[in-house]
Structures are given as C-alpha cells and as structure tokens.
Chains A and B, each alone.
Chain A
Amino acid sequence: SAVISQKPSRDICQRGTSLTIQCQVDSQVTMMFWYRQQPGQSLTLIATANQGSEATYESGFVIDKFPISRPNLTFSTLTVSNMSPEDSSIYLCSAKTGEETQYFGPGTRLLVL
C-alpha cells in the first residue's frame, strides 16, 4: 500500500496568482497522477506525472496552466497558474504501486476569489 500526503490541505487565493501543491508518497511508486474534483462533481484526471520527463496531460488540460514536476519516485508537484474562480476545486494526488490499486491523497481544497 501507499500513504499519500499533500500540502497545503486548503488555501484561499486571489485571481491571477499561482499555487503549487506538493504530494509526498511514503514509498516508491510506479506512477503518480493528479486529479481535479470540481464542486459537486466527480473526479477528472488532469495528468500523469512522469518521473524525469514531461507530464502526460489529458484532453482539456495544458502544461502552461497546470505545470507538473516529478523529480523522483516519491514526490510530485502540481501548480495551478494564473488562477481564476473557475479553478476552485479539490486537487487530489494519486499513486499506483506495482499492484492494481491506486491510492489517493486527502486532497487540497482551493478557493479562488
């Protein structure tokens, strides 16, 4: 299994600013992912964080808006750039070990004013 922590747990930001969310896993994992959960909605995959190379983004998400880093096998960051109120969401980090199971962090609750 894997235990995932995220920082910050929540934040309130002004529009036009950027926020970087950190994700730390307690063990080496094969894959890491970033999801968004907009208010009252389900989870949507933003991107797969690839270790040592550029992230793989899903349709509708771009690197300029959501730059992602993954410098090693246990850590990743997601930046939400040039924020607007529409970016208010829960952002969740996820990791997959060699098993079938994908584990999730507690989420970062972002409110953009």
Chain B
Amino acid sequence: AQSVTQLDSHVSVSEGTPVLLRCNYSSSYSPSLFWYVQHPNKGLQLLLKYTSAATLVKGINGFEAEFKKSETSFHLTKPSAHMSDAAEYFCVVRGGNKLTFGTGTQLKVEL
C-alpha cells in the first residue's frame, strides 16, 4: 500500500519569496510521485512528476521537486512566488494504476 502525507494544510508566503510545500510518502516499492495544482473552480493540472529518472524534477511555472529516498520526501519548491500561484496543491503517489492523493496544501500569496 502507498500513502502520502502533506505536512502543512496551509502555507502563506509573500510575493517574490520562496515557496516550500512539504510531502512525505510511503510506498512498498519504487514510487511514482506527482504534484498537481487546483486553482479555485478549476480542474487539476499536473505540475510535475517523478518516475525513477532524475531525482530533481522540473515542472511548469518554475516549480521543481526533489525526490529524496533516504528521507522519503518529495517537497515542492519555487524560488519566487507569484500571486497567480495561489491555489491548492496535491502530492500524489501512484501504486499500479491507482493514484493516492494527499490531503492538500492551500498556498496563499500575499503582496
């Protein structure tokens, strides 16, 4: 069985400052991990994915995530937050064909 834990339900940053959204995973085998973003009243959009290639994964809109097996983590980062980044972010682990979602982190970006 696999699971993910998003360590923060809410994160608030100022525009132009770094973003860190934390995710830990549990998987009985080499996992595939994803970050999705959900803007208000919009569908889910894939930000990036890790599928056992490079451990540092670059995604869209300047986001990236680093897979750290020793820490069972897959934290999402961005060097400089923009107002348009305000949304809910989901860390997801795949087991077989099934996706298991974390509980989500609501990112707030303030002026």
Which A residues are closer than 8 A to B by beta carbons?
Answer: 4, 31, 33, 41-45, 48, 92, 94, 96, 100-107
Contact = CB atoms under 8 A, between A and B. Distances in A.
A78 B44 CA distance: 19
- The interface centre, meaning the residue of A4, A92, A94, A101 with most chain B CB atoms within 10 A of its CB, is A101
Contacts of A96: 97
A41 B6 CA distance: 13
B90 A43 contact: yes
Interface of B: 32, 34, 36, 42-46, 49, 51, 90, 94, 97-99, 101-104
Nearest to B41: A109
Contacts, number: 41
Contacts of B34: 101-102
Contact of A45 (B36, B42, B44, B99): B99
A36 B54 CA distance: 32
A42 B32 CA distance: 19
Given A48-B97, A92-B43, A106-B42, A42 B90 contact: yes
Given A31-B97, A45-B98, A105 B90 contact: no
Given A42-B90, A107-B43, A100 B49 contact: yes
A25 to B, nearest CB: 13
B102 A42 contact: yes
A94 B43 CA distance: 10
A111 to B, nearest CB: 14
Contact of A100 (B32, B45, B104): B32
Contacts of A104: 36, 43-45
